Structure 1
Amino acid sequence: MDDDERMEDLEEAGEPPLALSDAERQILEEYDKLHQMDLEIAIIKAQKAYKSAPADDSPDALVAAQEALLQARSRYKLRNDAVELVVIANPVLKAVHGGTNASPIDRDLLPFIVQRDDAAVDAARSATQAQATRDALTDVQVETLRACRRNVQLTSRVFELAAQLEARKAVDWDGGEEALRVRDEKRKWRAVKGAASGIVAGSGVDWASDEALRDMVLDPEDDD
């Protein structure tokens, strides 16, 4: 982003642009050109090294290339950050401490420094809140997995008890026309009840902690 674009952004944000002198503006332009030249030189060197290097697409070679890229990027960023800190250190000190030797541009920097510090504090606070939200989400996910595991165990036990109940009723049932009719009605009712129980049990809801849902799934009433 060049100085003109920075000025346009400041005007759109309602901030007055810094009153840069011609010499200061020229220094910033030369500094941007220096960055651009560094990037172009690095690209040319990388292209030459790529052409002269033997082709090796093995996983180890790719990992080594990625590590070399990360190291080069880290060195480049560290160097630029160090240069920028050296360049801005003196104007920032003059702006903050308001010395008599501060130039008008140094004094104009103060509100922007305050905004930068406020933005850094807000960013740190947002990062802390985001981490707390992620931790809470992890806790909820863990509890959900535990609840699903409990539901699976309880559902398995319900099926075992239902099988035992059906076996006992088959042995104890006394025939008769009226008894057969009652048995058919109860079978239909139990089929509907079983479908509803299966839906609740398989939904992942912690029905064991809710009395109404627990009664629906476990069917505690006596059918004898």
Structure 2
Amino acid sequence: MTTPSSILSTLDTSPIPLSPKQTHILQLLATIDETRLQSALLRAHSSASPSTTNATTPVSPETLKAAERSALEARALYTLTRQITTHTITAGPILNATHASPKSSLDKELARAVHARDVLNLLTSAIASQVREVDARVRSAERDVKAGNENNVSLASQVVSSAQGLRRVGTEDVEAGPVRKRLEEVDKEIAEKRREWRVRKSLVAGVVVGSGVKWAENEALVELVLDDEDELREVRAGD
């Protein structure tokens, strides 16, 4: 079975070897991008700040919100512009490296890096889908456990009610046929409900453990997976 780890073990993700000149060009490009970002933020700050504002003038919450909104808009515009520029610059070399016969060693390295990027994107998407599926199963298991707990509360209420009813009758009434028969039926119903609860909890525990989630680090999931000794004794006593 192919797993993400086995795919990653065969994937070459080593960086593209660059000459000192190419490295210097990339560093200059990063510096230019950072300068443009700082310039955009400064312009946004200047446009959002009133001209009369000085170091001693208190700034109103509305002014702060306007400045924050302007900064976010400037950053979003800068990010979009940078992405468009980057895609425009890299589109040609990537197309040549992936769809044409690579001629230079740099084209070959670029084709390898593009392939690794595409595979990693697919793996990331697949893993994210699995995480969402596991999360949905865990939430469903939590709902089942909650329903089981509510059922246990109802059963406990029935037991208390039955016990209170026994206190109101005499020994001769308990030994009578109809009352004794009803008590035996209630005991059987309680034992059956407990067995059903144990089966449900076992199924939920199997789902949680099989999902690969680190359940031991989550107190709620630990309660789902581990058995309560008191519950086990009650079930065995009922059997």
Q: TM-score range by the shorter chain?
A: 0.5 to 0.7
Report the counterpart of residue 191 of structure 1 in structure 2.
none
Q: Structure 1 residue 79 and structure 2 residue 81: aligned?
A: yes
Which has the higher mean CA deviation after the structures are superposed, 131-140 or 43-52?
43-52
Q: Structure 1 residue 207 and structure 2 residue 205: aligned?
A: no
Report the counterpart of residue 111 of structure 2 in structure 1.
110
Counterparts of 1:126-141 in structure 2, within 5 Å, are 126-141=127-142
Q: Cα 1:103–1:61, aligned 2, differ >3 Å: closer, same or farther? A: same
Report the counterpart of residue 59 of structure 2 in structure 1.
55
Report the counterpart of residue 168 of structure 1 in structure 2.
169
Residue 113 of structure 1 aligns with an amino acid whose one-letter code is: V
2:93/2:107 contact within 8 Å kept: yes
Residue 14 of structure 2 aligns with an amino acid whose one-letter code is: E
Counterparts of 1:1-224 in structure 2, within 5 Å, are 15=14, 17-20=16-19, 22=21, 24-49=22-47, 51-52=49-50, 55-57=59-61, 62=65, 68-99=70-101, 102-169=103-170, 207=194, 209=196, 216=234
Unaligned runs of 5+ in 1: 1-12, 174-200
Report the counterpart of residue 218 of structure 2 in structure 1.
none
Residue 40 of structure 1 aligns with an amino acid whose one-letter code is: Q
1:94/1:106 contact within 8 Å kept: yes
Distance 1:79 1:171 in 2: 91
Which has the higher mean CA deviation after the structures are superposed, 148-157 or 40-49?
40-49
Q: What are the Cα deviations for residues 68-119 of structure 1, in whole angstroms up to 9, with x where unaligned?
A: 555444333222211111111111111112347x543223211111111111
State, as a whole percentage, how many aligned pairs show the same letter: 20
Q: Cα 1:147–1:16, aligned 2, differ >3 Å: closer, same or farther? A: closer
Q: What are the Cα deviations for residues 104-163 of structure 1, in whole angstroms up to 9, with x where unaligned?
A: 322321111111111111101110110001100110111111111111111111111110
Where 1:15 maps in the other structure, the secondary structure is: coil
Q: Normalised by the size of structure 1, how large is the TM-score? A: 0.61
Distance 2:147 2:25 in 1: 63
How many equivalent residue pairs?
172
Distance 2:137 2:231 in 1: 27
1:98/1:107 contact within 8 Å kept: no
Q: Normalised by the size of structure 2, how large is the TM-score? A: 0.58
Report the counterpart of residue 188 of structure 1 in structure 2.
none
1:92/1:110 contact within 8 Å kept: yes
Q: Cα 1:148–1:28, aligned 2, differ >3 Å: closer, same or farther? A: same
Q: Cα 1:75–1:43, aligned 2, differ >3 Å: closer, same or farther? A: closer
Where 2:76 maps in the other structure, the secondary structure is: helix
Q: Which of the two has higher C-alpha Rg?
A: 1
Instruction: List structure 1 runs of 4+ shifted beyond 6 angstroms.
Output: none
Distance 1:86 1:33 in 2: 19
Q: Give the structure, 1 or 2, with the largest relative contact order (CA under 8 Å, sep 6 or more).
A: 2
